[in-house]
Amino acid sequence: MAWVLILLIVFAVSFFYLMFYDDKELSPVAVPAPKNKEKDQNKPPTTFKDVAGLDEVIEELQDLVDYMNNAQKYRALGAKFPKGIIFYGPPGTGKTLLASALAGETKASFYPVSGSEFVEKYVGVGASRIRALFQKARKSAPSVIFIDEIDAVGSRRNIDNNSEKDQTLNQLLVEMDGFNSNEETVIVIGATNRLDLLDEALLRPGRFDRHIYIGHPNLRAREEILRVHTKNKPLEPNVDLKELASRTYGMTGAHLASIANEAAILAVRRNKKHIGNEEFDEAIERVIAGIEKKNADIIEREKLMVAYHEAGHALISSLLKVNSIGKISIKPRGQALGYVLNLPNEDNFLETKTQLLNRIKVLLGGRAAEELIFKDVSSGAQNDLKEATQIALTMITSYGMSDIGKRVYDNQCINDNENINREANKIIDECYKETIAALQENKDLLEEIVKKLLEKDSLNGFEIEEIIKDFRMVTAS
Ligand code: ATP
């Protein structure tokens, strides 16, 4: 009887605790604590000077800075400012950096949190954290709330039937509606990689109604980002940031920051006073392909197969003039046994059907070379095939570039539409046949590239051009 009483008391106490939990610290026993507690960093040291290559976005945010600093001026004329902004785009492109720079440019307090901090097992906990966050921010207005990975709380309500998440999202909506931008200067910035996942209600006017895309930096932007991240690093005079930028196509600001840092660490390790091109070369390859495996014992036949595979990519790329080749290597790095560094032409904003098909052929060049020479194929083409499939599917489902129609298919169709899959197979098979034929016609050149590659383990763009110059390339019909 006494035990039953004790149990009842324990139950009643814990239930009481869960019911009345508000913005107090969470007990690690009762409910798991959030990974990072909200930080009230009154003024982040970051400013727009730290953000490179995003001039248009910064220009767009300048009036917001003025509003945050002089809200009365705007209110006097009845001008309203958005309460919520969404930054969306690929990871590592500077969304968090930009939000903190926005706060740094103003008098605002900065509240950076991650959406995942509000995802909890216990119904109501996420919602109460949202309430507490807004309470704090409103109290110390002007303030900027930054919710990274906002999709963790803001994805569409019918996607998964999760009542804790729904409550958290509802609370976010309530809070967005609850403050009056005429009286309180609070801006909420959400960041996501997938705008399409967010609940419509969140994007409605008066909530997160300004959407700013932050994409991969172009050549000029990459040079500027490298400049920002090498500002306090002594460089050898012949280091050319523009040239480095041209070799980092497709990389984000986060990659470039990491390259600058890796290069500096390598220079220290080599007891150098200045960072040179060798360090940057190594850092770029590390970021693209991982750390070089100096002691990897690759058996001869595998090495030969890798050499033909990489030479196949490079040869098709040169034949079809898809990319200039920066380097081919058969020194294992990270998970790759070999790799080709491409230097794509960045002047194009559009891609034609022919260009997309050519990209598929370059991707298939490695597998095709294996089959042509060894009459067998390896598992090394997995990523190439994945990427080629993706291009083919996008051509069919988004660009209307296939025989099954000039229309767009939504995501759900892709998985279960037999026609789409059959068409993707057809595109890839046809590209593959043409790639094999092109390699067959230029087999001598392929052999020569492989011979040189085996001698030196890697060839730079200039060396590849020299080899190709001596051969008459037979262009695919
Ligand atoms: P995620 O979507 O993964 O949260 P993100 O877009 O928020 O990524 P950030 O966290 O802002 O990316 O970027 C990571 C780091 O990369 C920054 O701290 C900064 O060092 C560097 N970086 C990214 N973009 C830029 C940029 N435009 N200018 C200067 N540095 C940048």
From the CB of 53, is ligand 1 less than 6 Å away?
A: yes
From the CB of 52, is ligand 1 less than 6 Å away?
A: yes
Q: Which atom of ligand 1 is nearest to the CA of 221?
A: 27
- 418-441 vs 353-374: helix crossing angle, rounded to 10: 60
Average pLDDT over residues 324-338: 87
What's the 1 CA to ligand 1 centre distance in angstroms?
A: 61
Q: How confident is the model at residue 272 (pLDDT cuts 50, 70, 90)?
A: very high
Q: Which residues are the active-site residues?
A: 310
Average pLDDT over residues 260-277: 96
Q: What is the pLDDT of residue 309?
A: 97
Q: Whose CA is nearest to atom 1 of ligand 1?
A: 91
End-to-end CA distance of the chain: 91
Q: Which of 42-46, 286-290, 401-405 has the lowest mean pLDDT?
A: 42-46
From the CB of 372, is ligand 1 less than 6 Å away?
A: no
Residue 110 has pLDDT above 50, yes or no: yes
Q: Which atom of ligand 1 is nearest to the CA of 52?
A: 28
Residue 92 has pLDDT above 70, yes or no: yes
Structure tokens at 11: 């139950």
Q: Return d(Cα 476, Cα 287) in angstroms, integer.
A: 34
Residue 393 has pLDDT above 80, yes or no: yes
Q: Which atom of ligand 1 is nearest to the CA of 97?
A: 11
Q: What is the pLDDT of residue 161?
A: 59
Q: What is the pLDDT of residue 16?
A: 32
Q: Return d(Cα 283, Cα 278) in angstroms, integer.
A: 8
From the CB of 212, is ligand 1 less than 6 Å away?
A: no
Q: What is the pLDDT of residue 192?
A: 95
- Residues paired with 145 in a beta bridge: 111, 188
**pTM of the complete model:** 0.79
Q: Return d(Cα 125, Cα 360) in angstroms, integer.
A: 49
Structure tokens at 152: 């963790």
Q: Which atom of ligand 1 is nearest to the CA of 217?
A: 27
CA 126, 129, 135, 138 torsion-angle sign: negative
Domain ranges of the chain: 19-213, 223-289, 300-476
Q: What is the pLDDT of residue 469?
A: 84
Q: Which of 168-182, 248-262, 271-285 has the lowest mean pLDDT?
A: 168-182
Q: What is the pLDDT of residue 82?
A: 83
Q: What is the pLDDT of residue 296?
A: 66
Query: What are 350-366's pLDDT values in tens digits?
Result: 899 999 999 999 999 99
Q: To the nearest whole percent, how much of the chain has pLDDT over 70?
A: 85
From the CB of 47, is ligand 1 less than 6 Å away?
A: no
- For domain 223-289, is the CATH number 1.10.8.60? yes
- Residues paired with 88 in a beta bridge: 192, 213
Q: How confident is the model at residue 68 (pLDDT cuts 50, 70, 90)?
A: confident
Q: What is the pLDDT of residue 184?
A: 79
What's the 253 CA to ligand 1 centre distance in angstroms?
A: 5
Query: What are 194-209's pLDDT values in tens digits?
Result: 998 888 888 988 899 8
Written as one letter, the residue type at 315 is: L
Ranges assigned E (strand) in 313-460: 323-329, 339-344, 458-460
Written as one letter, the residue type at 29 is: V
CA distances from 73 to 13, 69, 105, 129, 197 (A): 52, 9, 18, 33, 37
Query: What are 153-185's pLDDT values in tens digits?
Result: 878 776 555 676 778 888 888 888 887 766 778
CA distances from 322 to 319, 343, 360 (A): 8, 9, 10
Q: Which fold has domain 19-213?
A: Rossmann fold (3.40.50)
From the CB of 254, is ligand 1 less than 6 Å away?
A: yes
**Among 282, 353, 342, 285, residue whose Cα is nearest residue 316:** 342
**Among 388, 380, 279, residue whose Cα is nearest residue 332:** 380
Q: Return d(Cα 306, Cα 370) in angstroms, integer.
A: 8
Residues 6+ positions from 287 with CB-CB distance below 8 Å: 251, 255, 258, 259, 262
According to CATH, what is the number of the domain 300-476? 1.20.58.760
Residue with tokens 């083409």: 381
Average pLDDT over residues 379-397: 95
Q: Whose CA is nearest to atom 4 of ligand 1?
A: 91
From the CB of 44, is ligand 1 less than 6 Å away?
A: no
Residue 41 has pLDDT above 70, yes or no: no
- Residues paired with 192 in a beta bridge: 88
Residues 6+ positions from 425 with CB-CB distance below 8 Å: none
Residue 30 has pLDDT above 50, yes or no: no
Q: What is the pLDDT of residue 126?
A: 82
Residue with tokens 């709380």: 153
- Which tops the pLDDT comparison, 405 or 266? 266
Select, from the ranges 110-124, 312-326, 420-434, the one with the highest average predicted confidence (pLDDT). Answer: 420-434
**Secondary structure percentages of the chain, helix, strand, coil, to 5:** 55, 10, 35
Q: Which atom of ligand 1 is nearest to the CA of 254?
A: 16
Residue 327's SS3 state is strand
Average pLDDT over residues 402-417: 81
Residue 205: asked if its preceding bond is cis (omega within 30°), the reply is no
Average pLDDT over residues 42-69: 88
From the CB of 225, is ligand 1 less than 6 Å away?
A: yes
Our mutation pick for probing the ligand 1 site, out of 49, 57, 85, 93, counting the most ligand atoms within 8 A of Cβ, is 93
